[in-house]
Structure 1
Amino acid sequence: MSYPTMSVDLNSDLGEGFGRWTLGDDDALLSIVTSANVACGFHAGDPVIMRRTCETAAARGVVIGAQVGYRDLAGFGRRFVDVPPVELADDVIYQIGALDAFARVAGTRVRYVKPHGALYNAIVHHEAQAAAVVAAVRAYDPGLPVLGLPGSAWLRQAAGAGLTTVAECFADRAYTREGRLVPRGVPGAVLHDPALVAERSVRMARGEPVEALDGTPLTVTADSICVHGDSPGAVAMAIEVRDALKENGIGLAPFAAEPAPFTRGAM
């Protein structure tokens, strides 16, 4: 069976260390992915890490996205925070602006926004918080695309507000039969077999069904595939996903505008 020529974005969550603590191999992943969701200091990341990640991404032609989250360093942004929508919007603006400053110093810009962790999952259904994040992106730069789960309140509201929406699927996460991510505390929620993850990535890129956690066939249509940078064996998994996509005639290309040529900024 032949398939039409196609391409897909490959993204990963990067810059998620803090101070002396490191998480994942950002340097290796920035040679594989086409888009980098960079932590902005609230769930992870600090100024040194943010600048270094932006400079490396810019040098390698990787598009930079702001990965915004709850103000929850201790919980790595994976705990729901019942923050008032007005405060949440300000937190998101703050994070985008901080990362954009380092991206500008590296000679490029933040090109899209992706929520992180518990915020990502909350705004699948939490209308008020979804509206707050939409309002923040519109206030900062309505030209920024936003990345999220297909069928989420977040993407629906973003589209209604005139933002460019990009649907995302996850190579290394299990899905419920409704197309939601299985909570991390549930056995089988995170996939660790590189061959399985790569095979699922190819199927999702083609719009073919994969198995939900309960075995139900599920079709996930997306323009960007995420491989988590903090998973064990993340680099090997990302390489296998990249190679499998290419071997099946699926090119890799960022969904956002190409970054500006790299020039080191002056302080």
Structure 2
Amino acid sequence: MSTLDLNCDMGEGFGAWTMGDDLALLDHVSSANIACGFHAGDPATMRGVVAAALARGVAVGAHPGLPDLVGFGRREMKVSPADAYAMTLYQAGALAAFARAAGGRLHHVKPHGALYNMAARDRALADALAQAVHDLDPSLVFYGLAGSAMVDAARARGLRVAEEVFADRAYEDDGRLAARGTPGAMIEDADAALAQVRLMLQGQVRARSGALVALRADTLCLHGDQPGALHFAQTLRAALAADGVTVRAP
């Protein structure tokens, strides 16, 4: 592939508490997934990060999660498809309002954390999220785990889809991300992460078992809360440029 979107989860501070160097990271990514207040973020943070992204020409996305500030949205909850629809529409709609007020528009929606992982394997939840995005604005791009139920659900609704891959996460044989806490689930070595990205651009990834798994890489996630996130973003952007890969939002 000759093009790749670099997306970054950001705006994940809350009140006086900050997380990640959002302003610096915005100089190296092409799209931003901004927390909407349920798992992290607050109205002032949302407004500030939206304005900063638009000023840099970075595509603005909503990053809706489960209502779990204490667990950072990474703990699974029992939610019905109706609840998932409502919380997604609520959060993405709020972010869209901030984008519009700043003179821009919402470009995409990417679910966060446990909500993302649940919908990746549960078609009913995936359908609810896709329907919420479609009902908000059918021109929005839906970001979902490559090859997952989210991708199928979004396409079934007629949405544009960006299949997402991860440089810093290990994969299982079925294309799912290895669960956090699993040995080797997090890739902390920058060279290993870069090698994984280059393989993904060829349409495959090596699972923890050693097997090669086919996938499509439209957008690559950079976790803004990870240690060394800024250095990795700079290194990755330079390596992609050297490889002739154009970085841009889908």
How many angstroms does 1:27 deviate by?
Answer: 0.9
Q: Could you tell me whether the CA contact under 8 Å between 1:197 and 1:237 is conserved in 2?
A: no
Compare 215-224 and 227-236 and name the one that shifted more: 215-224
Q: Could you tell me whether the CA contact under 8 Å between 2:147 and 2:215 is conserved in 1?
A: no
Aligned match for 1:131, one of 118, 123, 127: 127
Alpha-carbon deviations, 1:211-247, whole Å to 9, x = none?
A: 2112222333211111111111111111111111111
How many angstroms does 1:203 deviate by?
Answer: 2.1
Aligned match for 1:121, one of 117, 122, 132: 117
Aligned match for 2:76, one of 75, 80, 84: 80
Partner of 1:227: 222
Structure 1 residues 8-47: aligned runs within 5 Å: 8-47=4-43
Matched, 1:103 2:86: no
Partner of 1:212: 207
**Structure 2 residue ranges without an equivalent (≥5):** none
Partner of 2:240: 245
Matched, 1:149 2:145: yes
Q: Which amino acid aligns with 1:200?
A: Q
Q: Could you tell me whether the CA contact under 8 Å between 1:197 and 1:241 is conserved in 2?
A: no
Q: Percent identity?
A: 48
Structure 1 residues 180-199: aligned runs within 5 Å: 180-199=176-195
Q: Could you tell me whether the CA contact under 8 Å between 1:194 and 1:236 is conserved in 2?
A: no
Q: Could you tell me whether the CA contact under 8 Å between 2:147 and 2:216 is conserved in 1?
A: no
Q: How many residues align?
A: 250
Q: Secondary structure at the match of 2:226?
A: coil
Matched, 1:254 2:249: yes
Separation (CA, whole Å) in 1 of partners of 2:153 and 2:216: 19
**Structure 1 residue ranges without an equivalent (≥5):** 256-267
Partner of 2:166: 170
Aligned match for 2:63, one of 21, 44, 67: 67
Separation (CA, whole Å) in 2 of partners of 1:155 and 1:16: 25
How many angstroms does 1:87 deviate by?
Answer: 2.0
Matched, 1:53 2:49: yes
Aligned CA RMSD, in angstroms, stands at 1.2
Q: Could you tell me whether the CA contact under 8 Å between 1:195 and 1:240 is conserved in 2?
A: no
Q: Secondary structure at the match of 2:223?
A: coil
How many angstroms does 1:131 deviate by?
Answer: 1.6
Q: After TM superposition, which residue ranges in structure 1, 4 or more long, deviate above 4 angstroms? A: none
Partner of 1:261: none
Q: Which amino acid aligns with 2:17?
A: W
Separation (CA, whole Å) in 2 of partners of 1:132 and 1:7: 30
How many angstroms does 1:64 deviate by?
Answer: 0.5
Separation (CA, whole Å) in 1 of partners of 2:88 and 2:145: 18
Separation (CA, whole Å) in 2 of partners of 1:75 and 1:93: 21
Q: Secondary structure at the match of 2:85?
A: helix
Q: Which amino acid aligns with 2:239?
A: A
Q: How high is the TM-score relative to the length of structure 1?
A: 0.90
Alpha-carbon deviations, 1:63-113, whole Å to 9, x = none?
A: 011111111111111111112221221111110111111111222111111
Separation (CA, whole Å) in 2 of partners of 1:22 and 1:187: 29
